[in-house]
């Protein structure tokens, strides 16, 4: 009898990262399976764990075994494949096994929840009598009421499909309203109260509404001013402000009818690509395809027709899109084609909604998942294809433990299911394109747009010359004229700014001094609303100095422009234009994103101004002009991929213009027009960019010529950090091959975060099969100190963030 369970417990320390054995009490014998969560005694505590394996009595020493206290799941939450994938993640990223399991599950399952047994009205008649009594007049029974029953009897009904276990998140998930603060007196009265009020915090609140009287989310108001709600309450009491509870609606897609669409007759290039993918679907082959197609070449149509094929085989498909490209437009396309067979997973959903979508997948109510990174763990059991759209996006790499890349997970699952993986992009990563050229991936190329229009013409404007010519505006003469022209013709313009809000760094124009955070050594961000500067890493803030702390000049200003500022200038220059601004501030409310886009799509606005979030996936026929206000901001990041990222971004943004009947034009404003990332983006010559950039990478020994691993050590004491990092480097120098390069130890690009000093070491290597074992050894050596002494050693294989 297998009455011993091996359990991975929810403790994140290196020494305890292994399975522990527990006795299965007789009442649960035969019901507990691998992949179920249980509660077990651990030292003085009771904690959660995952059952990974069952054993016979004679396989273990029985005398010291404790028994399982409780069973949390009636059926496994992780199937056999996902358990195995968990081990693989652990091995590849050196994370804790428990973290690997948890990352694959929706947050609702980790949060505090109420557990219910549920039965639909229709299913009630199928229940045995004793169960019918339990569900009399209700469809939901609290788990506590059935806890005492033998688990097998519950399991039996669940297997028959009449009962279901559901979790309801207690606090976070169910929330449907939001508190909003706004003035209820005139501007004059606000100013008067402001004069009369002494309390500084109340004055700050009043100043906010004097500047802009529109209501604002309470949470945002409090956090931006750094206050508690006491001053707000006082002002409400005085009858100056009012607090409202505003409904925010739940599933943004639920009440909508999606217009069904039919497959397009494909263009030749699309057909060739689809045929190759179909071959591999039919033969159940695990091939990796790189679908390299210019923007507007109809990649999504190819994905959808390939999925059609997969569904006809009775299999399932996962489609990953970057979070910011998961626009309502994108969702609409998939829902339009596959209707209710589609589940959507993205971060704008509440914990409860995400869990709802996940359950649809687990119960096999859907066969297509469209989602951001974590959707790669969708608990399908019969996957026929995995698609990663915009494969170059850095958001596919998770920056916390486990530091996995969705592409690697996709390939691992593709091997397990013997199904193709399709990577799509107009600007593939150098790594992927190099692999495709070597034949490791199958290269599928689409060079033509589906519309009769070719790619838009791109013009580069040198902003230094504008300045020399006396133009101090953020709009060049060229861009200004073209916007004017579009307004006259009734066509639409998209303006792109690579920044957020009204905030950027503060610099002295006389001496160049930049205000930095005293804890994090990065520049502080200016917030106009309350005239303060703030740290984005640790939220430290202070008032904006009146004079430069270094040279006392009073010519200290914030540098660069935010979307709000651009909007103001647009209003001045084009008073008649209808403008929509899209950034984090205007889209934080649920459904706002969709509403703004719809307004623009319906032609009720002339100009769409926005940040990164408008760079991808938008497809509006009437857009004939795209302007990039500052192309340089990314070029100067401390990252060897800065050039690649700039090229990608400019291509994506340009791709928004002239996608249908009208030809498109793009204006790129820059201070460094000579850089090849910018000049080649103008000509849309990816392959030439690839060749140039590969040369740089080769000469500087970067990927794809070398692999990278980044080790970062941090601790509150500088000496400790230096000591540990030096020992690690010495150990690795001793072990690594001759042609492996170990850079450092050096201070990290951000030397301190939250009062912790940070040092790093970068390893560049061609072949180092043992590296992962050595690093595991390093972690084991410092396990004690990492648990007890606040030491952190983070290891990032193939890092995408160099900070």
- Binding residues are 508, 511, 517, 520, 535, 538, 548, 551
Residue 46: which residues within 8 A CB-CB, separation 6 or more? 39, 40, 69
| CA geometry: angle 317, 318, 322, nearest 5 deg | 150
Asked if residue 6 binds ligand ADP (CB under 6 A), the reply is no
Within residues 448-487, the interface with ligand ADP by CB under 6 A covers 450
User: How many CB atoms are located within 10 Å of the residue 427 CB?
Assistant: 26
Window of 118-126, 240-248, 266-274, 565-573 that interacts with ligand ADP by CB under 6 A: 266-274
| Contacting residue, 203, 218, 267, 480, with ligand ADP by CB under 6 A | 267
Residue 298 binding target from ligand ADP, Zn ion, none, CB below 5 to 8 Å by type: ligand ADP
Residue 619 binding target from ligand ADP, Zn ion, none, CB below 5 to 8 Å by type: ligand ADP
Asked if residue 106 binds ligand ADP (CB under 6 A), the reply is no
Helix/strand/coil for 341 = helix
CB of residue 303 to ligand ADP, shortest distance in Å: 8
Residue 355: which residues within 8 A CB-CB, separation 6 or more? 106, 107, 108, 109, 167, 169, 173
CA 148 to chain centre: 42
Give the nearer residue to Zn ion in terms of CB position, either 87 or 513.
Answer: 513
Q: Which residues pair with 54 in a beta bridge?
A: 5
Asked if residue 270 binds ligand ADP (CB under 6 A), the reply is yes
Asked if residue 295 binds ligand ADP (CB under 6 A), the reply is yes
401 with 99: CB under 8 angstroms?
yes
Give the nearer residue to Zn ion in terms of CB position, either 226 or 339.
Answer: 226
Give the nearer residue to ligand ADP in terms of CB position, either 44 or 265.
Answer: 265
Residue 445 binding target from Zn ion, ligand ADP, none, CB below 5 to 8 Å by type: none
CB of residue 593 to ligand ADP, shortest distance in Å: 18
CB of residue 390 to ligand ADP, shortest distance in Å: 9
Asked if residue 297 binds ligand ADP (CB under 6 A), the reply is yes
Which residue in 660, 644, 640, 642 sits closest to 652, CA to CA?
A: 644
Residue 540 binding target from Zn ion, ligand ADP, none, CB below 5 to 8 Å by type: Zn ion
Helix/strand/coil for 800 = coil
Q: Tell me if the bond preceding 322 is cis, omega within 30° of 0.
A: no
- Alpha-carbon gap, residue 705 to 722, rounded angstroms: 30
22 with 4: CB under 8 angstroms?
yes
Which residue in 609, 616, 606 sits closest to 586, CA to CA?
A: 609
Report the relative pairing of strands 623-628 and 665-670 from DSSP bridges: parallel
CB of residue 799 to Zn ion, shortest distance in Å: 22
CB of residue 509 to Zn ion, shortest distance in Å: 8
CB of residue 534 to Zn ion, shortest distance in Å: 9
Helix/strand/coil for 753 = strand
CB of residue 617 to ligand ADP, shortest distance in Å: 8
Asked if residue 293 binds ligand ADP (CB under 6 A), the reply is yes
Window of 57-65, 265-273, 362-370, 397-405 that interacts with ligand ADP by CB under 6 A: 265-273
Give the nearer residue to Zn ion in terms of CB position, either 547 or 773.
Answer: 547
| Contacting residue, 301, 693, 768, 796, with ligand ADP by CB under 6 A | 301
456 with 626: CB under 8 angstroms?
yes
Asked if residue 491 binds ligand ADP (CB under 6 A), the reply is no
| Contacting residue, 15, 200, 244, 264, with ligand ADP by CB under 6 A | 264
Give the nearer residue to Zn ion in terms of CB position, either 540 or 671.
Answer: 540
Copy the structure tokens of residue 190.
């606000």
CB of residue 344 to ligand ADP, shortest distance in Å: 18
CB of residue 688 to ligand ADP, shortest distance in Å: 20
Give the nearer residue to Zn ion in terms of CB position, either 253 or 540.
Answer: 540
CB of residue 266 to ligand ADP, shortest distance in Å: 5
Within residues 395-454, the interface with ligand ADP by CB under 6 A covers 450
Sheet holding 20-23, edge to edge: 66-67, 20-23, 4-9, 45-55, 37-42, 70-71
Residue 295 binding target from Zn ion, ligand ADP, none, CB below 5 to 8 Å by type: ligand ADP
Residue 551 binding target from ligand ADP, Zn ion, none, CB below 5 to 8 Å by type: Zn ion
Question: Given the rule CB under 5 A, which residues bind Zn ion?
Answer: 508, 510-511, 513, 517, 519-520, 535, 537-538, 540, 548, 550-551, 553
Asked if residue 379 binds ligand ADP (CB under 6 A), the reply is no
- Alpha-carbon gap, residue 602 to 593, rounded angstroms: 14
| Contacting residue, 299, 354, 413, 417, with ligand ADP by CB under 6 A | 299
- Count of residues interacting with ligand ADP (CB under 6 A): 14
Helix/strand/coil for 301 = helix
Q: Which residues are annotated as a binding site for Zn(2+)?
A: 508, 511, 517, 520, 535, 538, 548, 551
Burial of 82 (0-12, 13-18, 19+ CB in 10 A): buried
Residue 300 binding target from Zn ion, ligand ADP, none, CB below 5 to 8 Å by type: ligand ADP
| Contacting residue, 619, 639, 692, 785, with ligand ADP by CB under 6 A | 619
**DSSP letter string, 394-457:** GGGB-SSSS--BHHHHHHHHHHHHT--EEEEESS--HHHHHHHHTTSSEEEEE-S-SSSS-SPE
681 with 646: CB under 8 angstroms?
yes
Phi and psi torsions of 537, nearest 5°? -90, -45
CB of residue 312 to ligand ADP, shortest distance in Å: 20
- Alpha-carbon gap, residue 681 to 648, rounded angstroms: 8
- Alpha-carbon gap, residue 459 to 363, rounded angstroms: 52
| Contacting residue, 106, 173, 298, 562, with ligand ADP by CB under 6 A | 298
- Alpha-carbon gap, residue 295 to 289, rounded angstroms: 18
- Binding residues for ligand ADP, rule: CB under 6 A, are 264, 266-267, 270, 293, 295-301, 450, 619
């Amino acid at each position: 009898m297998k009455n011993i369970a091996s359990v991975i417990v929810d403790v994140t320390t290196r020494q305890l990262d292994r399975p522990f054995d527990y006795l299965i009490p007789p009442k649960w014998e035969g019901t507990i399976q691998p992949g179920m969560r249980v509660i077990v005694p651990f030292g003085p505590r009771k904690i959660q764990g995952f059952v990974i394996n069952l054993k016979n009595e004679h396989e273990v020493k029985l005398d010291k075994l404790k028994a399982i206290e409780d069973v949390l799941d009636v059926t496994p939450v992780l199937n056999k494949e996902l358990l195995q994938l968990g081990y693989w993640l652990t091995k590849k990223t050196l994370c804790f096994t428990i973290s690997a399991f948890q990352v694959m599950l929706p947050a609702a399952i980790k949060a505090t929840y109420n557990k219910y047994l549920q039965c639909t009205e229709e299913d009630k008649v199928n229940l045995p009598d004793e169960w019918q009594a339990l569900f009399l007049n209700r469809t939901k029974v609290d788990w506590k009421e059935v806890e005492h029953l033998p688990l097998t009897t519950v399991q039996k009904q669940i297997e028959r499909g009449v009962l279901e276990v559901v979790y309801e998140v207690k606090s976070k998930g169910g929330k449907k309203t939001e508190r909003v603060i706004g003035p209820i007196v005139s501007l004059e009265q606000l100013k008067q109260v402001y004069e009369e009020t002494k309390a500084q915090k109340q004055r700050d609140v009043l100043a906010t509404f004097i500047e802009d009287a529109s209501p604002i989310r309470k949470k945002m108001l409090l956090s931006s001013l750094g206050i508690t709600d006491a001053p707000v309450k006082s002002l409400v009491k005085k009858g100056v402000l009012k607090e409202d509870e505003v409904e925010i609606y739940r599933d943004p897609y639920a009440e909508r009818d999606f217009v069904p669409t039919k497959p397009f007759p494909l263009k030749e290039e699309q057909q060739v690509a689809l045929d190759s993918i179909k071959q591999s679907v039919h033969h159940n082959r695990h091939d990796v395809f790189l679908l390299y197609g210019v923007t507007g070449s109809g990649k999504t149509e190819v994905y959808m027709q390939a999925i059609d094929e997969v569904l006809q085989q009775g299999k399932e498909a996962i489609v990953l899109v970057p979070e910011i490209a998961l626009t309502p437009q994108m969702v609409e396309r998939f829902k339009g084609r596959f209707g209710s067979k589609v589940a959507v997973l993205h971060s704008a959903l509440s914990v409860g909604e995400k869990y709802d979508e996940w359950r649809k997948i687990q119960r096999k109510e859907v066969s297509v998942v469209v989602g951001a990174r974590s959707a790669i763990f969708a608990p399908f059991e019969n996957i026929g294809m995995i698609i990663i759209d915009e494969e170059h996006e850095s958001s596919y790499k998770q920056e916390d433990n486990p530091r996995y890349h969705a592409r690697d997970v996709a390939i691992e699952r593709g091997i397990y299911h013997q199904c193709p993986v399709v990577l799509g992009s107009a600007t593939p990563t150098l790594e992927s394109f190099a692999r495709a050229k070597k034949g490791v991936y199958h290269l599928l190329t689409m060079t033509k747009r589906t519309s009769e229009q070719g790619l838009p013409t791109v013009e580069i404007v040198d902003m230094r010359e504008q300045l020399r010519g006396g133009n101090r505006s953020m709009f060049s003469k060229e861009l200004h004229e073209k916007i004017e022209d579009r307004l006259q013709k009734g066509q639409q313009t998209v303006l792109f700014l690579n920044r957020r809000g009204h905030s950027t760094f503060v610099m002295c124009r006389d001496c160049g001094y930049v205000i930095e955070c005293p804890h994090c050594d990065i520049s502080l961000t200016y917030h106009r609303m309350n005239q303060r500067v703030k740290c984005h890493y640790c939220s430290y803030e202070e008032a904006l100095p009146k004079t430069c702390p270094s040279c006392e000049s009073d010519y200290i200003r914030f540098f660069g422009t935010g979307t709000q500022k651009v909007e103001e200038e647009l209003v001045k220059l084009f008073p008649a234009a209808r403008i929509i601004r899209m950034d984090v501030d205007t889209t934080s409310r649920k459904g706002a994103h969709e509403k703004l886009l719809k307004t623009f799509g319906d032609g009720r606005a002339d100009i769409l101004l926005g940040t990164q979030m408008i760079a991808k996936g938008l497809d509006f026929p009437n857009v004939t002009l795209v302007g990039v206000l500052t192309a340089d901001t990314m070029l100067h990041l401390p990252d060897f991929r800065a050039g690649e990222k700039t090229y990608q971004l400019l291509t994506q943004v340009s791709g928004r213009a002239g996608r249908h009947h009208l030809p498109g034009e793009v204006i790129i404003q820059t201070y460094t027009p000579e850089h090849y990332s910018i000049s080649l983006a103008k000509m849309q010559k990816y392959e030439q960019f690839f060749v140039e950039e590969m040369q740089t990478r080769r000469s500087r020994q970067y990927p794809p010529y070398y692999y990278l691993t980044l080790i970062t050590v941090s601790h509150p004491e500088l000496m400790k950090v230096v000591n540990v990092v030096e020992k690690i480097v010495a150990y690795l120098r001793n072990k690594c091959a001759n042609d492996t390069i170990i850079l450092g130890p050096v201070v990290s690009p951000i030397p301190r975060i939250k009062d912790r000093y940070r040092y790093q070491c970068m390893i560049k290597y061609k072949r180092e099969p043992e590296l992962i074992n050595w690093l595991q050894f390093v972690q084991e050596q410092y396990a004690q100190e990492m648990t007890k002494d606040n030491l952190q050693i983070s290891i990032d294989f193939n890092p995408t963030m160099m900070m």
